[in-house]
Amino acid sequence: MSKSGLSKAIGDLPGVSSEKEWTNSLERGRRPGPRMNEHVVIPDKCGVSTKAVHSGTYEDPTVGSVGTPIFQNSTFLFSEHTYEAFFQGISRDAPIYTRYGNPSQWSVQEKISSLEGAESSLVFASGMAAISTTLLALTNKGGHIVSAYDVYGGTYNLLHHDMHQLGREVSFVDSTSFEDIKNAVKDNTQVLFFETLSNPLLKSIPLKTIADYCKENRILLIVDNTFLSPYCCRPLDYGVDIVVHSCTKYMNGHSDLTAGCISGSRKYVDRIWDQMLRFGGHLEPFSCFLLERGLKTLALRMEKHVSNAKAVAEFLNNHPKVKNVYHPLTNDVSGKYINEYTENENFGGLVSFEVSDDEAGLKLLNELKLPAAATSLGGLESLVSMPYNTSHSTLTLNQRKSIGINPGLVRLSVGIEDLGDILNDLDAGLSAI
């Protein structure tokens, strides 16, 4: 429609006489949120535990419940506020329909925003829903994405199998090499996607250098911070545009839920919200309640995961049955950049290590009593798995070798059990192989 045509159409609206008057009558702006008056907002200067406990709580004015009620409903009564939100084009900020937004989602989103230092966040039904929705929202047909060849398996499969069908081209690089990353960037590169700590070798990345480069070249930088959690690292503070989590892991921390989230500026999160409306991967209210509850103890849990994992890494590093130990304290690739984006040696709770071969690894998994043999990570309980028959089972021996996954590699998600019990169990298990 031509400009004059638009003026004319607007001029025809009741009570509106010109284009100028119409645009002037919009009061919307990019405000943090969504949040309602009832949602608790904690200032950024407060500590991480205060934010984890209080931020986003819905203070129910009707019965005075302590803690957020569960808004287990799919739709909300229309009100003046709803109609105004439609008129202003800010329907993300009004309770209308649960796929669009729900106070239970806003509570947990506010908590995550406060922990990540973000203007806005969104919660999804899984980490993969968060990642796929975000990548499709922030790229378009003909665009190009650069990522690492050893990103999380689900992410790799999305990038490798689906993106080209959707007209996005993808290059995979060694995420520890800024040279490699830079060489892969082309005129049509729209997004760089990396992990703050990789699976299963816990590689760190030159995050600050990548973020500066992205700003200079107007490329969006998305990072998956699942292995560190906002307790250990706040990527937005270092110039990252969007941070993603599989909340199934440390964010929820109790292995009883799948969820995902993204955080960033309101401008980008609004775009991703729009995509989410069409793909439908929002988090339903009861899971929001579980995730909000899990997040309240994030700082307490992470403190213990971090200290236990450090002690386990040092114990394994001195054990005669163990070859390489992959942890920032014991491995150069892991440790290379991580101090640039974490403080106080908050390295998360994962440790990977090698025993003599895959057979010995399997025997170890059988011998261990405390860590359960299962995939996933970041729960209260210790979990142990071997990449060769789980996350990386579709790769040949040579492909695994080329990405550094040697025979006998074991990944341990160190739980919050008593350290002495974990070490005794590992010692007994290793003695038996």
Cis peptide, bond prior to residue 230, ω within 30 of zero: no
**Binding span for ligand PLP by CB under 6 A among 176-184, 243-251, 281-289, 359-367:** 243-251
Least distance between ligand PLP and beta carbon 54 (Å): 26
User: Is residue 152 annotated as a catalytic residue, yes or no?
Assistant: yes
Query: Among 102, 109, 113, 248, which residue sits at the site for ligand PLP (rule: CB under 6 A)?
Result: 248
Residue 229 one-letter amino acid: S
Residue 249 one-letter amino acid: K
Contact between 433 and 365 (Cβ < 8 Å): no
What is the rounded CA–CA span in Å between residue 164 and residue 144?
Answer: 10
User: Is residue 249 annotated as a catalytic residue, yes or no?
Assistant: yes
Q: Is 226 in the site for ligand PLP (CB under 6 A)?
A: yes
Q: Based on CB atoms, which residue is closest to ligand PLP, 100 or 152?
A: 152
Least distance between ligand PLP and beta carbon 245 (Å): 8
Choosing from 35, 51, 234, 249, the catalytic residue is 249
Query: Among 68, 105, 126, 139, which residue sits at the site for ligand PLP (rule: CB under 6 A)?
Result: 126
Nearest to 387 by CA among 421, 416, 428, 350: 350
Q: Based on CB atoms, which residue is closest to ligand PLP, 199 or 308?
A: 199
What is the rounded CA–CA span in Å between residue 405 and residue 242?
Answer: 29
Backbone angles phi, psi at 308, to 5 degrees: -60, -45
Choosing from 100, 152, 231, 337, the catalytic residue is 152
With b for 16 or more beta-carbon neighbours within 10 A and e for fewer, the 360-392 pattern comes to bbbebbeebebbbeeeebbbeebbbbbbbeebb
Contact between 146 and 140 (Cβ < 8 Å): no
Q: Is 224 in the site for ligand PLP (CB under 6 A)?
A: yes
What is the rounded CA–CA span in Å between residue 343 and residue 347?
Answer: 9
For helices 285-295 and 103-116, give the axis angle rounded to 10 degrees.
30
Q: Based on CB atoms, which residue is closest to ligand PLP, 154 or 335?
A: 154
Number of H helices, E strands in the chain: 17, 12
**Binding span for ligand PLP by CB under 6 A among 14-22, 151-159, 312-320, 326-334:** 151-159
What is the rounded CA–CA span in Å between residue 126 and residue 357?
Answer: 34
What three-state secondary structure class fits 74? Answer: coil
Q: Based on CB atoms, which residue is closest to ligand PLP, 133 or 248?
A: 248
Residues numbered 4-63 forming contacts with ligand PLP, rule: CB under 6 A:
none
Query: Among 71, 152, 273, 341, which residue sits at the site for ligand PLP (rule: CB under 6 A)?
Result: 152
Least distance between ligand PLP and beta carbon 119 (Å): 23
Opening angle at CA 175, ends 203 and 119, nearest 5? 90
397 CB neighbour count, 10 Å cutoff = 12
Q: Is 260 in the site for ligand PLP (CB under 6 A)?
A: yes
The residue whose two tokens read 């209210």 is 285
Q: In sequence order, which residues have a C-beta less than 8 Å from that of residue 90 and are 6 or more positions away?
A: 28
Least distance between ligand PLP and beta carbon 247 (Å): 7
Q: Based on CB atoms, which residue is closest to ligand PLP, 98 or 199?
A: 199
Choosing from 60, 99, 156, 336, the catalytic residue is 99
Least distance between ligand PLP and beta carbon 195 (Å): 6
Contact between 236 and 226 (Cβ < 8 Å): no
Letters for 71-110 (x = contact with ligand PLP by CB under 6 A, - = none) are ----------------------------------------
CA distances from 374 to 198, 207, 272, 350, 404 (A): 19, 31, 32, 14, 22
Q: Using CB atoms, what's the residue nearest to ligand PLP?
A: 127
Q: Based on CB atoms, which residue is closest to ligand PLP, 157 or 188?
A: 157
Q: Is 263 in the site for ligand PLP (CB under 6 A)?
A: no
What is the rounded CA–CA span in Å between residue 411 and residue 368?
Answer: 13
Q: Is 414 in the site for ligand PLP (CB under 6 A)?
A: no
Choosing from 58, 150, 213, 224, the catalytic residue is 224
What is the rounded CA–CA span in Å between residue 380 and residue 257?
Answer: 13
Residues numbered 157-216 forming contacts with ligand PLP, rule: CB under 6 A:
195, 199
Least distance between ligand PLP and beta carbon 128 (Å): 4
**Binding span for ligand PLP by CB under 6 A among 21-29, 36-44, 159-167, 219-227:** 219-227
Is the Cα dihedral 385, 414, 128, 206 positive or negative?
negative
Q: Known catalytic residues?
A: 99, 152, 224, 249
Binding site for ligand PLP (CB under 6 A): 126-128, 152, 154-155, 195, 199, 224, 226-227, 246, 248-249, 258, 260
